[in-house]
Amino acid sequence: MDARAKLLGHPIHQMLVVFPVGLLATAVVFDIVHRIIGGSVWPTVSFYMIGAGVVGGLAAAGFGLIDWLAIPVNTRAKRVGLLHGVGSVVTVALFAASWYLRRPAPQAPTTTALMLSFLGGLLAAVTGWLGGELVDRLGVGVDEGAHLDAPSSLSGHPASATGPPRPAQSIT
């Protein structure tokens, strides 16, 4: 099933989601490092990463909703997509709450702020797996004509168009 929201032939949601996932996951790692070795730089950097990750997550969510609305009803993909989307919104909310609680002193987060970050990280792992299930197993956001020799999305040709024949490869 092809994605609805695209930029230069590629799904926008799949392009944007890497930013909040990377930022928020790294913020969790920095929070763990802070708990192990201390210091004020780790939670301060984590504070700013969480802020950027929340903004990126909200941007990705809008395009994910556009794609989810195009999934046919009464399908496993629709149900998995709902779990992925709701779980992702809850993840962003957990990180937003963690960020908010850190505002008075980013260099010294409260235990509650850290726990929200850790919980958000765990939930992000689950929703990330669900997103992978949507794309890799159920083919959501994948061009219907995709194949190993599909032409570039910038070519103007459909993915189902075949390219030049591939040379035979020997296994030695």
Give the torsion sign (CA, 48, 53, 59, 65).
Answer: negative
Residue 158 lies in a domain: no
Residue 44 lies in a domain: yes
Residue 19 lies in a domain: yes
Residue 17 lies in a domain: yes
Q: What is the mean pLDDT of residues 32-57?
A: 96
Q: DSSP E strands: which ranges in the chain?
A: 6-7, 10-11
Please give the biggest Cα pair distance in the chain: 64
Residue 171 lies in a domain: no
Q: What is the mean pLDDT of residues 147-172?
A: 69
Residue 82 lies in a domain: yes
Q: Within 10 Å of residue 42's Cβ, how many Cβ atoms?
A: 21
Number of structural domains (the chain) is 1
Q: What is the mean pLDDT of residues 142-162?
A: 77
- pLDDT level of residue 104 (50, 70, 90 thresholds): very high
| Two tokens, residue 154 | 């910038």
Residue 154 lies in a domain: no
What residue numbers bound the domain in which 21 lies? Answer: 6-137
Model pLDDT, residue 124: 97
Answer whether residue 163 shows pLDDT above 80. Answer: no
Q: Within 10 Å of residue 91's Cβ, how many Cβ atoms?
A: 26
Residue 161 lies in a domain: no
- pLDDT level of residue 68 (50, 70, 90 thresholds): very high
